[in-house]
Amino acid sequence: MSELLPDIRDDILEVLIDEETLQNKVAELAAQITRDYAGQDLLLVGALKGAAVFMVDLSLQIPLPLSMDFMAISSYGASTKSSGVVRILKDLDASIEERNVLIVEDIVDSGLTLSYLAEHLRARGPASLKICALLNKPSRRSSNVQVDYLGFDIPDKFVVGYGLDFAEKYRNLPFIGVLKPELYR
């Protein structure tokens, strides 16, 4: 019977970053962050929904007394390309004034979303503001955004899994993969 169940893994053409490689990198980033923020007050700010899986995994490996908050943002317009004009769908619950803020993102593509978000949060007067991103597409960068903690540079391919979606699906894959092209239609 079980072979009749749909399996999202069947939609994947290629695994780009497997589960073990992901987990090793998350541990490495968490260790760096733990060293850098030891003895300081740290607030992780996740960009919903893509960064949720990564942020939870990352936080589980940072044994500091941190707090977490989330923002939901969306680019204006329905295109697959970022416009750089960002709408806040859900704001942070609390003030970030005088706090050490670490923005956690799933992927930096053009960088427009993240540079807007960083500028916006910087204006609220945090003690410090840094960025942690799991994935980066360097060939697509159009905006100047400095990522302080980076997981992987990847080629310019549309990827899903580990929080990243296509039409709200595939976020629950435990690895990063490329979808079969026939599914884009």
- Stretch binding ligand IMP (CB under 6 A), from 16-24, 29-37, 60-68, 112-120: 112-120
CA 82 to chain centre: 15
Q: CA-CA distance, 39 to 66, in Å (whole number)?
A: 10
Residue 110 DSSP class: S
Q: How many residues bind ligand IMP (CB under 6 A)?
A: 16
Segment contacting ligand IMP (CB under 6 A): 5-13, 63-71, 120-128, 153-161? 153-161
Q: Which of 33, 70, 82, 132 binds ligand IMP (CB under 6 A)?
A: 82
Binding partner at 164 among ligand IMP, Mg ion, none, C-beta below 5 to 8 Å by kind? ligand IMP
Q: Is there a catalytic annotation at residue 91?
A: no
Q: Which of 16, 18, 17, 12 is nearest to 180 (CA)?
A: 12
CB of 106 to ligand IMP, least distance (A): 5
Q: Which does 57 bind (CB under 5 to 8 A by kind): ligand IMP, Mg ion, none?
A: none
Provide the pairing of β-strand 176-179 with 159-160: antiparallel
Of the candidates 12, 42, 50, 135, which one interacts with Mg ion according to CB under 5 A? Answer: 50
- Determine contact, residues 132/33, Cβ cutoff 8 Å: yes
Question: What is the total count of residues that contact Mg ion (CB under 5 A)?
Answer: 1
- Decide: is 103 part of the binding site for ligand IMP (CB under 6 A): no
Contact 177, 160 (CB under 8 A): yes
E strand intervals along the chain: 12-17, 42-48, 67-75, 86-90, 100-108, 128-136, 149-153, 159-160, 176-179
- Give the Cα separation of 24 and 75 in Å (integer): 31
The least distance separating ligand IMP from the CB of residue 127, rounded to whole angstroms, comes to: 25
Least Å distance, CB 128 to ligand IMP, is 22
Contacting residues toward Mg ion, per CB under 5 A: 50
Task: Kindly list the catalytic residues.
Answer: 109
